Amino acid sequence: MKPTLALVAAWLAFETAWAQKVFSVQRESQADVKVFVVKYPSQADLLVFKVKHPSQADGNEGKWFFAPRESQAEKKIFFVKYESQADLKICFVKYESQAGWRNASKKHLLY
């Protein structure tokens, strides 16, 4: 049985809905999520590894691709100055294997 075009389109939409292709906006009011970068992994809700290609940002597991254009991103983020302003605290990590959620209750922010 061959998949229909509608089924393929639905699958593609489902697959990219959880991808973490982000764009950093300049105004807080434009953001889907306000993010604060912490110094230590133990302080973070999410450990983030920056990937170099959008296909590597699959899933909601902390692998982020910073899109060059807002239209290419699934989520618009704004980096706040103070921790108390943030929806999500992240820590950038050196290795892909370190990426992931430390506070699963915040996962909904990136769906």
DSSP assignments along 21-77, one per residue: EEEE-SSGGG-SEEEEE-SSGGG-SEEEEE-SSGGGG-SSSSEEEE-SSGGG-SEEE
pTM of the model: 0.81
36-70, pLDDT tens digit by residue? 999 999 999 999 999 999 888 878 999 999 999 99
What pLDDT band is residue 3 in, cutting at 50, 70 and 90?
A: low
DSSP state letter for 7: H
Q: How many domains does the chain have?
A: 1
Which domain range does residue 82 map to? 5-110
pLDDT over 70 for what percent of the chain? 83
Nearest Cα residue to 38 out of 96, 102, 97, 95: 102
